[in-house]
Structures are given as C-alpha cells and as structure tokens.
Chain A
Amino acid sequence: MNAANSPVLEIRNASRVHGQGERAVQALADANLRINAGEFVAIMGPSGSGKSTLLHLAGGLDIPTCGQVLVEGTDLASLSIARRAVIRRQSVGYVFQDFNLLPALTAAENVAFPLELDGWQRKKARQAALASLEETGVAMLADRRPEDMSGGQAQRVAIARALVGPRRLLLADEPTGALDSATGTAILRLLREKADNGAAVLMVTHEARYAAWTDRTLFLRDGRIIDQSGPSDASELLAQGTA
C-alpha cells in the first residue's frame, strides 16, 4: 500500500466537450481533482452538472478534450484504447446503483471475473475473490447467485469485485440509489472502511447524508467544480453545543 498522501487519481485542468461548433456542449470545464490513497471524496450536483462525465473520465471510460487524467501516475489519454482497458481492469473498480453483477455467476465468480479477464489462473483468481469477499463481510455468499441476494448483499459483492486484486481506485455511481436507508448507511460504512484501509474512493451521490461520510464533497454545476465541503478539524463542535 502506498503512503497515504500518494495520489491514486489526479485530474488536471480537464475539460470535456461533446459535439462541435454550434452544437458543442461543455460537459466538464477545467476540472482539477486529486484523490490520495485512503481518501474518500463525494461529488454532488444537479442533473446535467457533469458528475457522470467526471466519473467516466476518472475511470478511463472517456477521455478529456483537454487536460489530463492520471491513474496511479499514468495519463490515460496517452494510452491506446486497448492499453487503457487494461489499466481500467487492473487499477479501477466500479460500483453502480444497480450492482451490475453477472446473473449467471456466483458471487465468487463475479468477483474473480475481472482477474480472469486479466489472465489470472482460475484458482488464484478464486482465492483473491474469496479474500475480497471476506474483507467485505460477505464470504458466506461466495456460492450464491445475485438473484438469491438482497440489494445490500449484492452491493457488498459489487464492492468486493471493485477492489479485488491490486485495484485501489473505487468509483461509485449512486451506490445507495437502490437501497433503503439502513442498508445505504451500511454500504457507506463499508466504503468508509475501504478508504480507511487505503483505497481511494470517488462517489457520486444525491444524498447529503451519504456525502457526509466522506472526507470532502465537491459541488458541480454546469460542468464546473464550484465549491467543496468537508468536516472541520474541530469535531469538538458538538461538545460546544453549536450543532
């Protein structure tokens, strides 16, 4: 694990424009963001503000029109499509609102799948998958298929898959969107633990109560990061009776 202050994700002056000429739409403008190992960052903003664009750039699903996106020091835009896909598999994990688990596979097979795609031997991939499921508190689901899991269980498996093997960057797009409040809180507790254990986590959310679990919350509007908020250094705030 790297030192806590090493950037896992760095976005430098990144902009993304869709279309050209009069039809050009600026989805993201001059965004700067740095997430270190062990950091948990939330993105909030209205629909169409650029949240998904930022997440797609961070994960190499899209490349900026200008600027840079570096994952563990590698500029994704400088890579071929094939090489970028490899970096995505090896360095970036995704968690989605609807889990995106493969229905025909068990939890362990789902988690092992990206490793096998990357050429890992099946036995070694399964061992890594079981370790990741164990760390995520759902080892008992290893041989269960998604249809036999609750929403919270499926999302835990998805998080295990996102951080299996060497991956340290977790991108979460509304990970609590399909869950009830108590299960959503449990998922945030898990994401917080993953960050505390060294992962870098970037999460899009509409819910302030979930954003409050992070170290920083960025506000996006019209493609620009307009503000950020995080916990104050003095949590004695409560003891002072001002909360």
Chain B
Amino acid sequence: MSVKHALLALLSWKPSTMYQLRKAFDASTGETWPLNIGQVSTTLQRLERDGLVEQELAEAGEPEPWKLTAGGRAEVDAWWQSPVPRETPGRDELVIKLALAVTVPGVDVAALVQRQRSATLQVLHDITKARRGVEQADIAVRLVLDNHIFTTEAELRWLDDVEETLVRAQATATAGTTAPVQADRQGPTPAKTAKARSRR
C-alpha cells in the first residue's frame, strides 16, 4: 500500500498537519491499516526531499501544515489516472501449506482445510459484524470493509474448490488411475452450488 500516494491525495484535498493527515487516513480506511505517526513523519520528509510537498509558514505556537507543490499535484494527478498494478502472487503461506499438504504423505488434508475454513469464517464473522456498525453515509469505510469481505469470501470459495479437487482426485485414485490423495469429502461444494445458482 502506498503511504506516499495516500498522503499526497489527502494533501490535494487540503493542507494538513502530520497529525491531521494520520487522523484523516485512519478515518477514511476504517482504521484497517493504522498508520503510526513515525510513518507519516518519515514519508513527509521524503516527499519534501523530492519536492512534492512543502510546509506552510506557521503561526506562532501552531503546528505547521503541509501542502502540495506543483510537482506533488502532478504526481497525485498521475496516480489517480493510472490503474494499480496487480502484484505478482506472493508466497502466500496458506497456498504453500496446502500444496505441501497434498504432497507430503500422512497429512489429513480434509481436516486441515476444515480448520482453515473455520478460522477464515471467524474472520468473516468479525468483519461482517464491524461492517454492520458502519454508518450508511460512511462510504469510504464501507468500501474498505467490503473489500475485506470479498477477499475473505474468495479464500473460503477457494477452500471449497480445493476440497472438490481433492474429492475428484480421490475418486480417480480409487478407480486406480492415479496416486492417492487424502480426502474424504462427498458431494458438490457450497461455493460451487452457490456459483451455479448465481449464474441462473
């Protein structure tokens, strides 16, 4: 996540002090990516070094607001204009864990999938609970939490798909055409059923 561009975007709205910037960032993201004041300070110093922000003259005793330079405004305009690149899939621990689980003999993959499903659903419960408490008008926080809901739900659907793949592999193995895979589940997965329904 680009703290640099987030701060530039907030400064394009209005000049702000370091503390105002942190508060505005937390408010607009539902405090899902809390920034510490040190991160804000360090980022502002780099932006100043690069000629993208500057400090306004301060009145006596008041904290000094930061504002964009012309270069900073051009930078934030360019940011709005360009799509965010999709990152190359990283070394997601869950993906690697499951890949290893189906490789290493003796691992109860079905139980592993279920434990993960239960834990991920608990996260979904928590996010949904938090989302229910968000005011209708608080669109920024709503869309951030909705993003968490979609990504968590995607993981659950993927786990359903993993189970289905294991069941198919098990069936094929039972028929004697491939190596055995540990799985004991039957029937179509919830996600597949739901997807099929949504297509109708």
Contact = CB atoms under 8 A, between A and B. Distances in A.
A156 B190 CA distance: 25
A106 interface: no
A40 B117 CA distance: 20
B34 to A, nearest CB: 5
A227 B117 CA distance: 10
B114 A227 contact: yes
Interface in B119-134: 119, 121-130, 132
Given A46-B190, A209-B153, A229 B122 contact: yes
Contacts of B30: 238
B127 A212 contact: yes
A73 interface: no
Contacts, number: 101
Nearest to A209: B153
A243 interface: yes
Interface residues of A, number: 35
Given A221-B185, A227-B114, A235-B130, A212 B190 contact: no
Interface residues of B, number: 38
Contacts of B156: 208
A231 B188 contact: no
B193 A206 contact: yes
Contacts of B122: 229-232
A45 B190 contact: yes
Contacts of B132: 189, 192, 213
Interface string A204-243: 0011110111100101011000111111100101111101
Given A212-B127, A219-B114, A241 B186 contact: no
A218 to B, nearest CB: 10
Interface of A: 44-49, 177, 189, 192, 206-209, 211-214, 217, 219, 221-222, 226-232, 235, 237-241, 243
Interface of B: 30-34, 114-115, 117-119, 121-130, 132, 145, 148-149, 152-153, 156-157, 185-191, 193-194, 197
